[in-house]
Each structure stands twice: as C-alpha cells, then as structure tokens.
C-alpha cells in the first residue's frame, strides 16, 4: 500500500513556544487518520503545514506525492481543506462559493457551475443553494465548507475539527457525509477532540500532546488500552462505599476500580457495558445498598489522556512542559505509562 | 493556461466576489457614498466662507478637486479593511490552500476597490455640480483628471493592502491608516492654498503627491486662476507627470511587498 501523507520530524516554534516538537505521520492511501488531541496540542499547526499554509522550522512532508516545501502549488492542486482552518464566504450564496472555488481551481465557468450544482445536490443543500451562506445553520455551513474542499475531487482531504461546535444531530449528519467520502477511496486526515469521532471515522488514530505523538494505533487498540466503557456509580451513603467497590470489582474488565470526584462516587472499566451495569445493580440491590446515580459512560479524550499521560486533557491544555509522570494522587489509580506510545505503536 | 492569464482570471474571480458583497450588504455602499457627499457639503458650507484660497476663484471651485483627491485616498482604507477582515475570518486560508495565483487575492481586492472609487467620484461630481462646481476645461481634460484620480487611488490601495496583511485585525486598520492618510491629505493644498503653510512645511506640501494630484486636477478641470501665483517647485510645475511618477514608484515598491507578505502570512 502506498503512503499518501508522510511527515517526518515536523517542528514549529512560535517564539519560545514549540507548537510541534518532532511530529511523524503516515497515512496509507485510501485510509483515514485521526489526529486526536486537546486544544493547543498542535493539531491545527500540523494541518496548516501539510496544507502549505505554514512552513515548518524543521522536518519534511509529502502529500499525494508532492513535497509541501518544494512543490506547494502541486500539493494545493491535489488536496481539499475544510474545517476551522478554512472558511466559506458568508456573503456569497452556497452556489457562488462553490463556483468561485471551481474557477480558482482553473475550471471553466460552465464546469464550475455544473460541479457546484452536483455538490449542492450531494450535500442536501440544493434548496439553500441560492441563499447567502450567512443565513445557513451551523450544520449547513459545515456541509458547504466540506463541499468546498471537494470541488476538484481531490485525492486527499484534510478536515480540521469538522464537527467542533455542532449540535449532536448535525454532528451525526456530518459523520455520515464524511463516511460516504471515505467509501469513495479518498485519503482523509482528520483532527478532532472527540474520541468517539475518531473511533467512528478513522482507521488509525494518533494521539497528540504538546506537539508530539504520544500514541499511535487503531481505534480498537486505543480503546482496549483506555478501557472502553465505564460504569459510574454514586452511593447515597458513604458507608456503603466498600460494598459498592466490591460490586464493581466483580464486573471489572481488567482494570481496578477508580475513586470518583467525591467520596461516594466510584467507577470501573467494563467490557460488556449493559450487562455489567445490570449485574452491578442486581448485586447492590441484594446487598441493600442505596444508589443515588448510576450510568454507563463512553471513554472521552480525557480518559485517553489520563491513561496515557496521567493527566486530563484539560491539564494538557495549559501550556508548559508535561509533568514527569502525572499528578501523584492520580498515579496509584491510573499508572502513568511513559512508554504507552511504544505499547500501542505498530 | 499561462501564468498571466491565470493571474488575470483569478483576479477577476476574486474581484467579482468582493463586488458581490456590495450587493449583499448595501449598508457598505451607503457608507462609502455618504461620506464624500458629507465632505463636499461640510467644506463648502461650513468653511466655505472662512477660507479664501487667495487665487480669485471661489472656494468651492478650489475645494472640489481637493475633496476628490482626499476621498479617493481615504477610500484606500477600505482596501486594507477588506483584506484584514478576510484574514480574520479565515477565507484567506481557503484561498491560500487553493492552486490559484498567489497575487490574485490582493490584485482582486485593489481592482474591486477601483469600482468603489468610480462610484464615489460620480457621486461627488454630481454633488459638486449642485453646489456650484464647474468643469471649465475640455471634457477630455476632465476625463484625464478622473483617470489620474483613479490610478493614484489604485496605487494607494496597494499601500493599504500591505497594511491589511500586516495588521492583526480590522480595528487596527482604521488607526493605522489614520496615521498615514491624515497627514498626507491635510498637509497638502487640498483644502487650503499653498502659501498659507509655514515655510518649513511648504516643501513637504509641494512634494506631497496628494498636492500635485489636487493641483493637476484643478488645472485639468480649469479650476485655477491663471493670474494666481503658482509654486515654482518642479513637482507643482508638472503636477500630472509627478503624480504619475509617484503612482509608478508606489506600485513598484508596495505591490511586490504586499504580495510577498501575503505569501508568507499565517495567523
């Protein structure tokens, strides 16, 4: 399989701040790579370098066979960019936006108009095609944005946080659109803050933190490491805590029971969420433990970070170097694994 | 497609996009057109009686070519603001990720602003005629005057295009342009006669292209009094030629600077 996006040792500094500290990426043709990380991790910087908007201080990258530093024009011909790094012109109609971009790709007027109509139809925007984009809902605007990236049917599409800020329904709709794109064999680089999004859309996930990849693997490998779903429990009486801990330990999927934010809350990673939840509740019922709140929670970016670095993603948000091995009180609960990247990496 | 036709096509596509904004946000157009009318009326009626140009013509005749020059120079702020706004909103990143001509975004903006200037000159000329301004030379000369105003405005647009890619936000543009444009337009003969300036400033006024542009327009419109004393500085003796030289110099310096800066720019 050929590699469509390849980056080696990308470094980008802004004054004293290192946005990227030696990032390597590899995306085989026709696959989807998700760059997963919190705000400020370096995702957008990486996207901007790969789409020729920014020059790295060190490192090399090729996209669709063209070198981003030596042949930027050639790269631009072969990619489509969408998401928070690009924008639509809100004073133009959807059709005008797409036609303008077609013309700027070098299409003749007729072809640009035809392609715009095709994309509007394909993205469920034909009714809104002649309205200025400023009248669009958030979801419509993102779909138009994505359509803009696809005008020239590029081999590589880069999506920078395509669903950030969207309501759940629009997000699901956007996922369907992206999944459809992937089925056509387009190579996709996607950045996201949502583990669920990466899981849903990507073949491979690179977790990025402070400008460096800290884990690389399939969504399944990452989830297996993070522990999949968790049962979270809050007991009414703090005295029942140990009974609850025992109930959770009985369904634990390998990991130990974690203490929650308060002394009455606990959680544990499980394999079969719904069944585990029922078993826990049955046992607590038998033991006469009163439960205040219980639920199943899918792992989030925070869980990934907690597992990989011992810190939550919010801590990672704060600038400055990562602490050596995570905060002390967290270390006993979730062992920090400095070699985590090695474990998941292929 | 050759590089040149590519650049021209892309420039035209971007210019069309900028002009569509006028259609969609007519408030902008109103603002652009109201301020010249305001200036004409303000200077004609508020200062008209107090300021005597001293060359025998009525102040209004003296004033209108100055207003033309001042307004088209001020209009360049619009170029800077448009570019800064595009940078801020991320549409520039879309353009920069496309295989289009790298100079087309700025060239398209400066081109579409020529259309604004044509409109505002038209409005000002009509307002001027209403308050007593007259074209006393030939129509060909008058057309040459308008042409000179437009090419000069085009050159100044490129200065503001550079400012537009340099500043971090639209808000900064107005302040930044004030620093450049206010002295250029007010320390000139646009509103007051040359001999009212102290000798130290007079040299600046004589070689200020806004002065020579104004002077050239006055001569071409026939709004000067031949009996009145004229500065013997070379620039004021050959105002149209000197203005054109300035246009070329500004374009040669600022267009490449602005484009180079645009290519390297990133938020």
Does A23 share its domain with A45?
Answer: yes
Mean pLDDT of the A147-151 span: 94
Are A233 and A196 within one domain?
no
Model pLDDT, residue B258 = 94
pLDDT at site A338: 36
**Testing the interface with A: which of B8, B15, B99, B103 to mutate, by most A Cβ within 10 A?**
B99
Give the chain B residue whose CA is nearest to the CA of A154: B98
In a domain, A10, yes or no: yes
Given the DSSP bridges, would you call strands A204-209 and A79-83 parallel, antiparallel or unpaired?
A: unpaired
Q: Which residues contact A196 (CB under 8 A, 6 or more apart)?
A: A298, A300
Tokens of A297: 């929670």
Inter-chain contact A79–B97, Cβ cutoff 8 Å?
yes
CA B202 and chain centroid, separation? 22
| Average pLDDT of chain A, as a whole number | 84
Tell whether A304 is covered by a domain: no
Q: Check if A148 contacts B (Cβ < 8 Å).
A: yes
pLDDT band at B257 (very low <50, low <70, confident <90, very high): very high
The distance of A130 to chain B (nearest Cα, Å) reads 12
Neighbouring CB atoms inside 10 A of A285's CB total: 12
Q: Does A132 touch chain B (CB under 8 A)?
A: yes
Q: Taking all residues of chain B, what is their mean pLDDT, rounded to a whole number?
A: 87
Question: For B80-86, what is the mean pLDDT?
Answer: 89
**Does residue A63 sit within a domain?**
yes
Q: Is residue B4 part of a domain?
A: no
Q: What pLDDT shows up at residue B51?
A: 64
Q: Are residues A265 and A204 in the same domain?
A: no
Q: How do residues A55-110 score in pLDDT, each as one tens digit?
A: 999 999 999 999 999 999 999 999 999 977 568 999 999 999 999 999 999 999 99
Q: Judge: A85–B89 Cβ closer than 8 Å, yes or no.
A: no
Does B1 reside within a domain?
no
The model's confidence at residue B41, banded by pLDDT at 50, 70 and 90, is: confident
Left if phi > 0, otherwise alpha if psi is -120 to 50, otherwise beta: which for A332? alpha
pLDDT band with cut points at 50, 70 and 90 for residue A332 = very low
Q: A218 in a domain, yes or no?
A: yes
Query: Considering the domain boundaries, does residue A106 fall inside one?
Result: yes
Numbered residues of chain B with Cβ closer than 8 Å to any chain A Cβ: 1, 6, 9-10, 13, 16-17, 20-21, 24-25, 89-91, 93-100, 104, 266
% chain B with pLDDT above 90:
44
Structure tokens at B103: 């100079």
Do the Cβ atoms of A104 and B6 come within 8 Å? Answer: no
List the Cα angle A19/A22/A28 in 5-degree steps.
110
| pLDDT at residue A2, as a whole number | 87
Is A91–B98 a contact, with Cβ atoms under 8 angstroms apart? no
Closest-CA distance of chain B to residue A76, Å: 5
- CB within 8 Å of chain B, chain A residues 182-211: none
Q: Give chain A positions within 8 Å (CB) of B25.
A: 91
Which chain B residues touch A53 with a CB distance below 8 Å? Answer: 93, 96-97, 266
Would residue B2 count as lying in a domain?
A: no
Question: How high is the pLDDT of residue A345?
Answer: 35
Domain membership of residue B36 (yes or no) is yes
What integer pLDDT is reported at residue B266 of this predicted model?
57
Give pLDDT tens digits for B143-166: 999 999 999 999 999 999 999 998
- The arithmetic mean of pLDDT across residues B166-194, rounded, is 83
Within this chain, do residues A33 and A143 fall inside the same structural domain, yes or no?
yes
Token pair 């800066």 is at which residue? B261
pLDDT at A128: 93
In this prediction, what percent of chain A has a pLDDT beyond 90? 44
The answer to whether B24 contacts A52, with C-beta atoms less than 8 Å apart, is no
Quick one: A233 and A219 in the same domain?
no
**Which of A203, A223, A243 is the C-terminal boundary of a domain?**
A223
User: What sections of B90-198 are H helices per DSSP?
Assistant: 91-96, 104-130, 139-166, 170-186
DSSP code at position B192? S
Chain A contact set for B96 (CB, 8 A): 52-53
CB atoms under 10 Å from CB of B242, counted, come to 22
Mean pLDDT for the stretch of residues B172-195: 83
The CATH number linked to A276 is 3.30.70.100
Q: What chain B residue is nearest to A99 in terms of C-alpha separation?
A: B13
B110, B20 Cβ separation under 8 angstroms: no
CA A108 to chain centre: 37
Residue A155, chain B, CB below 8 Å: the answer is no
Count how many Cα atoms sit within 13 Å of the Cα of residue B41 in the half-sphere of its side chain. 9
Task: Return d(Cα A156, Cα A63) in angstroms, integer.
Answer: 8
Size of interface A-B (CB pairs under 8 A): 70
In a domain, B214, yes or no: yes
CB contact under 8 A, A101 and B98: yes
CA-based nearest distance A231→chain B, Å: 42
- Classify residue B18: in a domain, yes or no: yes
- Give the 3-state secondary structure of chain A: CCEEEEEEEEEEEECCEEEEEEEEEEEECCCEEEEECCCCCCHHHHHHHHCCCCCCCEEEEEECCEECCCCHHHHHHHEEEEECCCCCCCCCEHHHHHHHHHHHCCCCHHHHHHHHHHHHHHCCCHHHCCCEHHHCCHHHHHHHHHHHHCCCCCCEEEEECCCCCCCHHHHHHHHHHHHHHHHCCCEEEEEECCHHHHHHHCCEEEEEECCEEEEEEEHHHHHHHHCCCEEEEEECCHHHHHHHHHHHHHHCCCCCCEECCCCCEEEEECCCHHHHHHHHHHHHHHHCCCEEEEEEECCCHHHHHHHHHCCCHHHHHCCCCCCCCCCHHHHCCCCCCCCHHHHHCC
Number of structural domains in chain B: 1
Q: Regarding predicted confidence, which is higher, A285 or B247?
A: B247
> Region B126-134: what's the mean pLDDT?
89
Residue of A nearest to B3 (CA): A106
Please tell me the predicted confidence (pLDDT) of residue B229: 64
The last residue of a domain, from among A184, A203, A223: A223
Which of A223, A243, A269 finishes a domain?
A223
Burial of A134 (0-12, 13-18, 19+ CB in 10 A): middle
Rounded to two decimals, the ipTM of the complex is 0.86
Domain that holds residue B96: 10-264
Number of domains in chain A: 2
Same-domain status, A42 and A100: yes
Identify whether residues A146 and A207 lie together within a single domain: yes
**pLDDT tops 60 at residue A165:** yes
Average pLDDT over residues A129-147: 92
Token pair in block for residue B16: 């069309």
Q: Is the pLDDT of residue A16 over 70?
A: yes
- Whether B21 and A91 lie within 8 Å, measured CB to CB: yes
Of B13, B24, B96, the CB nearest to A91: B24
Per-residue pLDDT at B30 = 85
Asked whether residue A341 carries a pLDDT value surpassing 70, the answer given is no
pLDDT score for A346: 33
pLDDT of residue B227: 56
Decide the pairing of beta strands A156-160 and A79-83. Answer: parallel
Contact A85 B93 (CB under 8 A): yes
What is the band of B55 on the pLDDT scale with cuts at 50, 70, 90?
low
pLDDT confidence band for A337 (50 / 70 / 90): very low
Residue B221 has a pLDDT of 93
Residues A255 and A189 in one domain: no
What value does the mean pLDDT take over residues B76-83? 88
Q: Which residues of chain A does B16 touch, with a Cβ-Cβ cutoff of 8 Å? A: 100
In this prediction, residue A343 carries a pLDDT of 36
Residues of B in contact with A56 (CB under 8 A): none
CATH code, domain with A41: 3.40.50.300
| A contacts of B260 (beta carbons < 8 Å) | none
Any idea what DSSP says for residue B102? T
Residue A323 has pLDDT above 50, yes or no: no
DSSP state at residue B46: I
Q: What is the pLDDT of residue A9?
A: 94
Using the structure block, give the residue that is written with the tokens 């295989």. B99
pLDDT beyond 70 at A324: no
| Residue B15 domain-assigned (yes or no) | yes
pLDDT at B38: 87
Collect all residues of chain B within an 8 Å Cβ-Cβ radius of residue A96.
17, 20
* pLDDT, tens digit (0-9, with 9 covering 90-100), for B188-219: 888 888 888 888 888 999 999 999 999 999 99
Q: Do B94 and A81 touch (CB under 8 A)?
A: yes
User: Could you list the residue range(s) of the whole structural domain that residue A9 is in?
Assistant: 3-223
Considering only CB atoms, which chain B residues are within 8 Å of A77? 99
B231 occurs within a structural domain: yes
């Amino acid at each position: 399989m050929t590699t469509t996006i390849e980056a080696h040792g990308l470094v980008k500094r802004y004054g004293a701040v290192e946005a990227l500290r030696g990032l390597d990426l590899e995306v085989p043709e026709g696959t989807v790579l998700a760059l997963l990380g919190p705000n400020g991790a370096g995702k957008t910087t990486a996207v901007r370098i790969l789409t020729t908007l920014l020059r790295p201080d060190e490192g090399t990258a090729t996209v669709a066979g063209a070198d981003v530093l030596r042949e930027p024009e050639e790269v631009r011909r072969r990619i489509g960019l969408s998401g928070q790094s690009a924008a639509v012109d809100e004073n133009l109609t959807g059709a005008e936006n797409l036609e303008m971009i077609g013309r700027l790709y070098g299409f003749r007027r007729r072809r640009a108009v035809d392609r715009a109509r095709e994309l509007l139809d394909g993205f469920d925007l034909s009714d809104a095609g002649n309205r200025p984009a400023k009248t669009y809902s958030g979801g419509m605007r993102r779909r138009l944005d994505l359509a803009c990236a696809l005008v020239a049917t590029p081999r590589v599409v880069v999506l920078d946080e395509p669903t950030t800020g969207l309501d759940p329904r629009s997000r699901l709709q956007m996922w369907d659109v992206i999944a459809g794109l992937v089925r056509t064999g387009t190579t996709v680089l996607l950045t996201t803050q949502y583990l669920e999004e990466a899981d849903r859309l990507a073949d491979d996930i690179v977790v990025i933190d402070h400008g460096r990849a800290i884990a690389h693997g399939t969504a399944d490998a990452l989830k297996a490491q993070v522990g999949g779903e968790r049962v979270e429990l809050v007991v009414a009486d703090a005295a029942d805590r140990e009974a609850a801990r025992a109930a959770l330990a009985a369904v634990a999927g390998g990991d130990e029971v974690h203490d929650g934010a308060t002394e009455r809350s606990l959680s544990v990673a499980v394999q079969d969420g719904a069944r585990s939840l029922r078993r826990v509740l049955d046992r607590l019922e038998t033991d006469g433990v009163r439960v205040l709140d219980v639920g199943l929670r899918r792992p989030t970016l925070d869980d990934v970070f907690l597992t990989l670095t011992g810190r939550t993603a919010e801590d990672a948000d704060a600038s400055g170097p990562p602490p050596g091995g995570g905060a002390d009180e967290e270390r006993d609960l979730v062992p920090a694994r400095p070699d985590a990247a090695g474990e998941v990496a292929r | 497609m050759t590089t040149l036709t590519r650049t021209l096509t892309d420039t035209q596509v971007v210019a069309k996009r900028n002009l569509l904004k006028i259609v969609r946000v007519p408030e902008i157009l109103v603002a652009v057109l109201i301020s010249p009318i305001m200036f004409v009326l303000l200077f004609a009626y508020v200062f008209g009686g107090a300021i005597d140009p001293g060359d025998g013509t009525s102040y209004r005749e003296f004033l209108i070519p100055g207003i033309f020059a001042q307004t088209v120079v001020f209009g360049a702020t619009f170029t800077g603001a448009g570019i800064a706004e595009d940078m801020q909103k991320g549409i520039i990143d879309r353009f920069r990720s496309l295989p289009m001509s790298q100079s087309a975004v700025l060239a398209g903006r400066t081109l579409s602003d020529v259309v604004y200037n044509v409109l505002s000159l038209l409005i000002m000329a009509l307002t001027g005629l209403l308050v007593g301004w007259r074209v006393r030379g030939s129509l060909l000369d008058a057309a040459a005057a308008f042409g000179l105003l437009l090419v000069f405005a085009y050159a100044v647009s490129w200065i503001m295009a550079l400012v537009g890619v340099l500043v971090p936000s639209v808000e900064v543009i107005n302040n930044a342009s004030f620093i450049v444009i206010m002295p250029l337009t007010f320390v000139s003969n646009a509103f007051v006669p040359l001999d009212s300036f102290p000798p130290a400033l007079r040299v600046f006024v004589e070689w200020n292209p806004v002065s020579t542009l104004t002077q050239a327009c006055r001569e071409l419109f026939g709004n000067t009094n031949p009996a009145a004393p004229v500065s013997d500085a070379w620039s004021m003796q050959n105002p149209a030629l000197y203005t054109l030289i300035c246009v070329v110099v500004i374009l040669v310096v600022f267009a490449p600077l602005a484009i180079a800066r645009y290519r390297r720019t990133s938020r």
